[in-house]
Amino acid sequence: MATSDKVAAVAEITEKLRDSNAAVVTSYTGLSVAQLKQLRRSLGENAQYRVVKNTLTKIAAQEAGISVLDEHLSGSTAVAFVTGDPVEAAKGLRDFAKENPALVIKGGVLDGKALSADEIKKLADLESREVLLAKLAGAFKGKQTQAAQVFQALPSKLVRTVDALRAKQAEQSGAE
C-alpha cells in the first residue's frame, strides 16, 4: 500500500471513529465473503462494518483521541462503526456470532468508554431506544392520568364536604 493510500485510509478511519458514537472490534477469520455480506445487512442502517489494518487503525484511533482500542487490534480485525442506536448493532453482532462462531467480538468503545466483549453482549440484551422511549412515554402518560384523577377528585370532594356541612347546619337549625 502506497504511503498516500495509507494516509487516506488513516484519515477515513479517523473520521469514522469521530463520527461514530460506538465502535465494535471483531475478528472475522473463517468467514466467507457471503457471510460478511450477511453480517453487514444484519447490523442495520446505522452501522458500517469494515475490515481494517491494525497499524492504520491504531494511528487513526490515536488521532481520534481513542486509546482503548489498541489492545483489541491484533490478528484479522474488522470494526463496526455505529452512528445510530448501539443496541441494534450489538444485537446484530451477537446474533450473527451465535450462528457463526467464527465471528469473535473482541471489544469496543461507546462514547469514549471502553467496552469488553461481555459488556457488548449485555448491551445487546437491552431493549432498543425506541422501545425504551415508548415505555417512558407510557409511564409519563400513566402518571398524568393519575394526576388528572387526583385534581378531578379534589373539587368533587370539596362539593361533597360543603353539601355535608350544609346538611349538618340545616339539621342543627331544624333541631333548635
Instruction: Identify the CATH assignment for 3-126 out of 3.30.70.1730, 3.30.499.10, 3.30.565.10, 3.40.50.720.
Output: 3.30.70.1730
DSSP assignment of 70-104, as one string? GGG--SSEEEEEESS-HHHHHHHHHHHHHH-TT-E
Tens digit of each residue's pLDDT (9 = 90 or more) over 65-124: 887 777 888 888 889 898 888 888 888 888 888 888 888 888 888 887 888 888 888 887
Tens digit of each residue's pLDDT (9 = 90 or more) over 11-49: 998 888 888 888 898 888 888 888 888 888 888 788 888
| Segments making up each domain of the chain, as ranges | 3-126, 129-175
Q: Which of residues 151 and 27 earns the better pLDDT score?
A: 27
* Rounded Cα distance, 10 and 46, in Å: 21
139-149 average pLDDT score: 70
Give me the helix-helix angle, 86-99 and 117-125, nearest 10°: 110
